[in-house]
Amino acid sequence: MLGAKRQSREFSCIVPRGFLKAYLLEILTEGPMHGYALMERVHKITGFWKPSPGTVYPLLTSLVKEGYVEAAAGTGRRKEYKLTRKGKKVSSEMKETRYLLNEKLSGVLSQMTPATKKDLKVYFKSMVKNCREGPMIDPIHQMFALLLKLSNSPEKTLHASKILNDANSKLSKLLDDEGGKL
């Protein structure tokens, strides 16, 4: 397993640019939090990624300047951040966008595989629950990040489909070699 700092850096490369901003706004809908609590919450939710203070605090400063978040004195030196009315509105809009993005990704994956959207949702829930650690987690996250980027290009989606079908064949053969069944 990668060391915590290295692992966080590795996943920062996988996480799409701008994602943390949206994620912090969504987390703040749960209530006011200080920066460290936000980093811990991201780590708890994802199970694999803990953004660094050098990323979170400048972003929180930016969110305050943009009027999405207010900073208030908390305990000790800590500032507590909470959503403004503007931040709540944007967070709500982003939640809808995330839903649409999930639907789009499910659609792309269901075109590439014989799985139904329901099968994919069950699979993703089990992945979140059971596969937050281990040797497959890095390649799985990288694959989904790449599939999201490819989803806007029909030609590349077709090529990605062929690659995934080849990978599925190889994985099935690996399972067959071990005497298992799909």
Work out whether strand 69-73 and strand 33-34 pair parallel, antiparallel, or are unpaired.
unpaired
- pLDDT, the chain, mean: 75
Q: Rounded to whole angstroms, how far apart are CA atoms 5 and 24?
A: 20
Provide the pLDDT for residue 5: 46
* Domain covering 4-151, topology: Arc Repressor Mutant, subunit A (1.10.10)
Tell me: pLDDT of 6 over 50: no
Residues in the chain: 182
Residue type, 170: K
For the segment 25-46, the average pLDDT, to the nearest whole number, is 90
Q: Rounded to whole angstroms, how far apart are CA atoms 167 and 164?
A: 5
Within 8 A by CB and 6+ apart from 8, the residues are 49, 50, 51, 52
Provide the pLDDT for residue 139: 72
Would you call 79 helix, strand, or coil by DSSP?
strand
Q: Where are the beta strands (DSSP E) in the chain?
A: 33-34, 69-73, 79-83
Tell me: pLDDT of 83 over 90: yes
Which pTM was predicted? 0.52
| Range picked from 2-11, 64-73, 138-147 for highest mean pLDDT | 64-73
